[in-house]
Amino acid sequence: MDAMISPMTLLLTVLALAAPEKAAPQFIDVVQANFAAWDLDRSGDLSISEIDRLVVAPQLKGDQAAAIAAMKTVRRIGYPAGPYTLANFDAAVKLQQKYARHAADDPADEKGSAFFNGAGIDWQKVFIACRDRIENPERALFRKDRLSLEQIRQGALGDCYFVAMIGNLVYHQPDKVRKMITVQKNGDLRVAFADSETIVMPALTDAEIGVSSSRGEEGNWMAAFEKGFGLLRQAQYPEKYKDGVASDTIGRGGQLYVTIRILTGHESETYLLRTNIERRGDSAVAQLAANPNDLARMVREKIKQPISRKKLIGAGTIPMEDLPPGIPSRHAYAVLGYDPAKDIVTVWNPHRNSFKPAGAPGLKNGYPTELGVFKVPMVEFVQIFDMLEIELDISAVTEGQRSGKTSGGK
């Protein structure tokens, strides 16, 4: 016979099932509750240095860390948010709410986006994105025995040149990447880069996870790599990177050859596919270095052996006006493979995007993309990308100072 359920137990069960989900906290409420404690110099404005200190503060947890991570993210991407005062935060949130009501009342009004983007930022949206990373219950460094490309996605950091090559290394040599990061007995993280360059650093703070490329689904190893890479650059070039947190040193763009050098200990060679680049505002016009067939012939020969030997190969786009849909400009990509029989190049976008062409795949409509991976005929590949970076078998000489070890809080 089934056990009897008391009326009180039944009532509590029904109420629990009927209870609405707890609403997400509001960015502005978190800021108002903690602003005075965060404003260390009592100036009424959260300075860049104050935010940087809070990003690496281990005692800052949960929603407070998410709010600081949101501020750091916006600061890094250079959005004109104005001084970080309570009044400005409040005004920006009210503006976003006004835009949301405007869009709901008239969804067809195309001016809504311009109205919002020209005067404010959706702090709540950025806050929730950072909070989702922090609140993920899987906080282990690795969640799976074997890494895969599907576990990687570039976040708000402008470090596509780094994430693309990490993805390339994971695709070809996942075990090597996993062995590069270890947890010490005291909880510190040790990141061993090539050429005996090693960084020892404190465990990631909540705010550092919030601003990273890690989504938490497969652990926080990517966030650890980003912090380690940033600390390494700070150690190698202390004068150049004396200000800011570790992520600042890699979040403003960079070069593929730097990542290849640090991950493999090898030099690389650059091949320019376009010349005579002419800037036109935010875009550019450039000529191919040769006709497409000649360029395709050259690239075939250059990548065939390196790909067969699992070398790192990257490609980049400049801010061109006529790039195919679904392929962002000013961005770095990983070249994962080449099929000589079909003359097809396999490319990975670290944004891990998905895209479906509106017509036949090609230069006009773009290419089917799943989790950032797409395939391009070689003769079209050389018309899309402006450069290639190919790992060589030549040992690289360390640039900058030898890093040694650091427990850097920055």
Q: pLDDT in tens for each of the 410 residues of the chain?
A: 444 444 444 444 444 445 455 677 899 999 999 999 999 999 999 988 899 899 989 999 999 999 999 998 887 765 656 788 998 888 888 887 777 665 555 544 444 444 444 346 788 888 998 898 888 766 677 777 778 888 788 876 778 999 999 999 999 998 888 889 888 888 889 999 886 788 898 888 999 888 887 655 566 788 888 888 888 888 888 888 777 777 777 776 788 999 999 999 999 999 999 876 666 555 556 677 778 999 999 999 999 999 999 999 999 998 766 889 999 988 999 999 999 999 999 999 999 999 999 999 999 999 999 999 999 999 999 999 999 999 999 988 777 776 665 444 34
Q: In this structure, are 249 and 273 located in the same domain?
A: no
Q: Is residue 9 part of a domain?
A: no
Q: In this structure, are 157 and 127 located in the same domain?
A: no
- Measure the CA dihedral 67/73/79/83, to 10°: 40
Q: Is residue 334 part of a domain?
A: yes
Q: In this structure, are 154 and 258 located in the same domain?
A: yes
Q: Is residue 15 part of a domain?
A: no
Q: Which amino acid is at 359?
A: G
Looking at residue 317, which CATH number applies to its domain? 3.90.70.10
* 337 closest CA partner among 153, 147, 168, 178: 168
Q: In this structure, are 271 and 255 located in the same domain?
A: no
Question: Cα–Cα distance between 97 and 307 in angstroms, integer?
Answer: 51
Q: In this structure, are 330 and 251 located in the same domain?
A: no
Q: In this structure, are 271 and 388 located in the same domain?
A: yes
The model's pTM is 0.78
Q: Please say which residue of 83, 109, 135 terminates a domain.
A: 135
* 270 closest CA partner among 292, 296, 297, 299: 299
Q: Is residue 289 part of a domain?
A: yes
- Strand segments (E) across 281-397: 283-288, 313-317, 331-339, 344-348, 373-377, 387-395
Q: Is residue 288 part of a domain?
A: yes
Query: Is residue 250 a contact partner of residue 259, using CB atoms and an 8 Å limit?
Result: no
- Residue 131, CB half-sphere, CA atoms under 13 Å: how many? 15
- Residue 328, CB half-sphere, CA atoms under 13 Å: how many? 13
Query: Is residue 78 a contact partner of residue 156, using CB atoms and an 8 Å limit?
Result: no
Q: In this structure, are 279 and 370 located in the same domain?
A: yes
Q: In this structure, are 70 and 107 located in the same domain?
A: yes
Q: Is residue 140 part of a domain?
A: no
Question: Cα–Cα distance between 150 and 70 in angstroms, integer?
Answer: 25
Q: Please say which residue of 237, 264, 291 terminates a domain.
A: 264
- Contacts of range 289-294, beta carbons closer than 8 Å, 24 or more positions apart: 292/379, 292/380, 292/382, 292/383, 293/379
Q: How many angstroms from the chain centroid is the CA of residue 171? A: 17
Q: Please say which residue of 243, 264, 285 terminates a domain.
A: 264
Q: In this structure, are 272 and 384 located in the same domain?
A: yes
Q: Supply the pLDDT for residue 19.
A: 46
Q: Is residue 333 part of a domain?
A: yes
Q: Give residue for tokens 């992520």.
A: 247
Q: In this structure, are 209 and 284 located in the same domain?
A: no
DSSP H or E stretch at residue 200? strand 198-201
Q: In this structure, are 249 and 309 located in the same domain?
A: no
Q: What is the CA radius of gyration of the chain?
A: 24
Q: Supply the pLDDT for residue 5.
A: 44
Q: How far apart are the first and last CA of the chain?
A: 64
| Axis crossing angle, helix 221-236 with helix 256-264, rounded to the nearest 10 | 100
Range of the domain at 355: 266-394
Q: Is residue 399 part of a domain?
A: no
Question: Cα–Cα distance between 229 and 227 in angstroms, integer?
Answer: 5
What distances in angstroms separate CA 277 from CA 302, 330, 346, one per listed residue?
23, 13, 26
Q: In this structure, are 97 and 171 located in the same domain?
A: no
The total number of structural domains in the chain stands at 3
